[in-house]
Structure formats: C-alpha cells, structure tokens
C-alpha cells in the first residue's frame, strides 16, 4: 500500500477519535486553568504534553535551548536557557523569579540535570512532575509479571546502562528534594505521533505494508506492551488537574504478540502472512531475538522478548493509573498516528531498510515449511 492509499484509509478513523483523545471531558469540565511550565517540550513527549495541556484550557510556557524544532508552537511563551550535567554551564536566568502552578520535566536521565532544575523551581510551584521510565526498575524484576510501582529500582552504582541507572537515581533524588509535591510517571515503550524513529513498532508496520510472508517469532504467546504518547500526556494533565501525586506505571494493557501483529496488519490493510516459527529453530538459523551484532534497534524481531529473565518486561501493571482515572487509547489509533507520521517524513531524511534481510527471511521460512511437512 502506498502513502496516498494509507492516508485515505486512515484519515477518517484518526479524525473521528481526535476529539475524545485530545479533549478529556472531565478535565475540561472541572479543572480551573493553570499556569504550566514545561522543561523541554519540543520533541515527541513534549509536544504531545503541550497539545494536551492547551486542549485542557491551561496556559503553557516552554523552557528549552530553542534548538530542537524551534518553530513549533509559535504563539507560546518560550524562555531560552541551557541545562547540562556540568552545573557551571547551566543557565536558568530566563526563569527569573516567576512561579507556576505545575512544572513538568519530560526528558533528562542524568540525575545532575533533573535535580538542578528542581532545585531552582521547587519553591516556585505547587506540583512537580517528572517523566521516568519502566527502565528504572532493577533488571531482576523483569522476570516477574505484574510489576507494580513498589518494585526495586536500579542501583546508581550498578552495572546497567546509564539511562536505566540515571532514571532510577533521578527519581530517588527528586523524591528526597521535592517530597509529597512530586508526581513520577514510568511509561513503557512510548509510540505514536512524532515517534522519533525508534525501530520497533515501525519495523513491524513496515513489514506488514510490504505484504508477503514474514517470520512471526515464537508461537505468538509472548507479550507486548506499548503506550501511546498522547496517553502519557493525558495522564500528566490528569495529574495536574486533579492534584494526583505519587508514582505511576504507564504501560497500558499487555497484548499477545499474535494480537500485536494482527493489529499491525489490520492498521495497514495488509494481506501479509506471519508464519510462527519456534525460537529454537530461529536460534539454529542465527536469528536470535537480540542477535544483531551491529545494533539494529530491537534486533531482528523488535519488541519480542522470550528470554525468561524478561518475561515480565511487557506484563507490567498500570492498575494504579487506571484507578486514578487513566483511559489509554485503542492500539489501532496509536498505529495510525505512527504510520501517518512516518509517511509525512521527507524520504531523503527518513529511509528504512529491514535489518532482517529479505532473502535470509525467505530462506528460513522455506526451511521451516519443509521441516514441518516431513
């Protein structure tokens, strides 16, 4: 399916859901306008947050460098500054002595950056919100399903990558600094509008668009759990509107890998066939889930985690957020937003080639089909 055909099929469904997605009626009906300061606000989660905040009737000020997407939101107040892990380089002077009803920090994972801004602003706001990640959990937690907000966080001095340790340490230091005025959200993999090219959901969507036969890894029973960027934004606005404090997983509801790929096919109106091939057979063909030596985003089969130590990675509980009134969008809306954004990109800037070579994939599919006929 080409870009024109996809947009023709997708536009009406996406437009029909826009009002309910962007304008949460309870928030509009009950919450008085507030002054919101967004630290960042120019990339992916930031713009979604600004959209949702404005839709809820609040006023927004952005504080950032003015480098990333500087022409976005031309009518909003923009204060220019600089954040750094080196305190001597930071510049918060544009904030002056002003106060806001809520401050939202959407992106840093270096605790030095998260904490330095909070020190400047903690006495100037009634509500401080920080976007963390499910990556903040200690690695051993992912072997268990139903992880909730009380699970152990990664150690700052542990062996994990800096993003993981940094999010966890930022949480600890912000809690110590801000206390009960703090809201922390821990999203799972964030997808949807303005996704900056993470090669996971998009890989499966583009494979589905290609059509023909593809490998469905495993037996389709492993879980996938993603969250729409608009849903992350809407929970932050819900927390601001209703003064909700504390820590919340934002992962949505898990789906089986079979349901996930069926959803990708449905969204692309594809006749692609995914042939389920056991992990053991894929291993024999050097197609392990994370086996791509040169990187490749999520490997040959993004979002597929059959490893015992990761069985709970995509079965994390968002029950606390649900009980607070959070209602995630349907998966097909997330997929539509993702594809519409991908098709809007300049093809000279965004190009995609599958890390799973088509000839190799066809060879493995053929060998599997012959093996099961014997």
Distance from chain centroid for Cα 331: 13
CA–CA separation, 112 and 103 (whole Å): 17
Apex CA 188: angle with CA 219 and CA 33, to 5°? Answer: 145
CATH code assigned at 252: 3.40.50.720
Q: Do the beta carbons of residue 57 and residue 33 sit within 8 Å?
A: yes
Average pLDDT for residues 230-245, to the nearest whole number? 98
pLDDT at position 346? 84
Structural domain contains residue 190 = yes
Instruction: Convert the pLDDT of each residue in 287-331 to its tens digit.
Output: 987 654 433 456 899 999 999 999 999 999 999 999 999 999 999
pLDDT at position 162? 96
Structural domain contains residue 29 = yes
Tracing tokens 């990664």 back to the chain, one arrives at 154
User: What CA dihedral angle connects 55, 60, 63 and 69, to 10 degrees?
Assistant: 40
In the chain, the number of structural domains is 1
Structural domain contains residue 372 = no
Full DSSP string of 201-240 = HHHHHHHHHH-SEEEEETTS-SEE--EEHHHHHHHHHHHH
pLDDT at position 325? 97
Structural domain contains residue 153 = yes
pLDDT at position 35? 98
pLDDT of 9 above 50 = no
Structural domain contains residue 127 = yes
Structural domain contains residue 182 = yes
> Percent of the chain beyond pLDDT 70?
89
Dihedral pair phi/psi, residue 5, rounded to 5°: -65, -40
Instruction: Convert the pLDDT of each residue in 329-346 to its tens digit.
Output: 999 999 999 999 988 888
Residue 244 vs residues 47, 112, 236, 326: alpha-carbon distances, Å:
22, 26, 9, 12
Structural domain contains residue 373 = no
Per-residue three-class SS string for 61-96: EEEECCCCCCCCCCCCEEEECECCCCHHHCECHHHC
* Summary mean pLDDT of the chain: 89
Residues spanned by the domain of 315 = 3-365
Average pLDDT for residues 85-102, to the nearest whole number? 97
């Amino acid at each position: 399916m080409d870009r024109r055909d996809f947009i023709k099929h997708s536009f009406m469904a996406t437009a029909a859901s826009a009002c309910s997605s962007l304008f949460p009626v309870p928030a509009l009906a009950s919450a008085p306008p507030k002054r919101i300061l967004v630290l960042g606000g120019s990339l992916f989660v930031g713009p979604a947050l600004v959209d949702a905040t404005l839709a809820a009737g609040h006023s927004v000020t952005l504080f950032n460098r003015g480098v990333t997407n500087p022409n976005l939101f031309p009518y909003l107040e923009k204060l220019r500054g600089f954040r750094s892990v080196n305190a001597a380089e930071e510049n918060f002077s544009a904030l002056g002595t002003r106060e806001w009803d809520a401050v939202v920090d959407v992106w840093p994972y270096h605790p030095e950056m998260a904490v330095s801004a909070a020190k400047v602003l903690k006495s100037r706001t009634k509500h401080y919100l920080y976007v963390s990640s499910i990556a903040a959990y200690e690695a051993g937690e992912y072997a268990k399903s139903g992880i909730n907000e009380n699970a152990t966080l990664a150690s700052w001095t542990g062996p994990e990558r800096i993003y993981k340790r940094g999010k966890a340490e930022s949480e600890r230091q912000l809690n110590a600094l801000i206390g009960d005025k703090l809201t922390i959200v821990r999203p799972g993999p964030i997808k949807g509008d303005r996704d900056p090219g993470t090669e996971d959901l998009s890989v499966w969507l583009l494979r589905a668009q290609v059509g023909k036969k593809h490998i469905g890894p495993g037996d389709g029973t492993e879980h996938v759990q993603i969250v729409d960027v608009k849903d992350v934004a809407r929970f932050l606005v819900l927390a601001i509107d209703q003064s909700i404090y504390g820590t919340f997983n934002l992962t949505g509801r898990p789906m089986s890998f079979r349901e996930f790929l069926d959803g990708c096919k449905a969204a692309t109106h594809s006749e692609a066939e995914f042939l389920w091939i056991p992990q053991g057979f894929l291993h024999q063909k050097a197609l392990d889930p994370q086996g791509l030596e040169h990187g490749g985003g999520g490997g040959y089969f993004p979002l597929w985690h059959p490893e015992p130590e990761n069985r709970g990675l995509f079965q994390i509980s968002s029950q606390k957020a649900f009980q607070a009134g959070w209602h995630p969008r349907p998966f097909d809306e997330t997929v539509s937003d993702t594809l519409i954004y991908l098709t809007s990109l300049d093809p000279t800037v965004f190009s995609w080639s599958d890390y799973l070579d088509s000839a190799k994939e066809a060879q493995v599919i053929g060998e599997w089909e012959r093996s099961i006929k014997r």
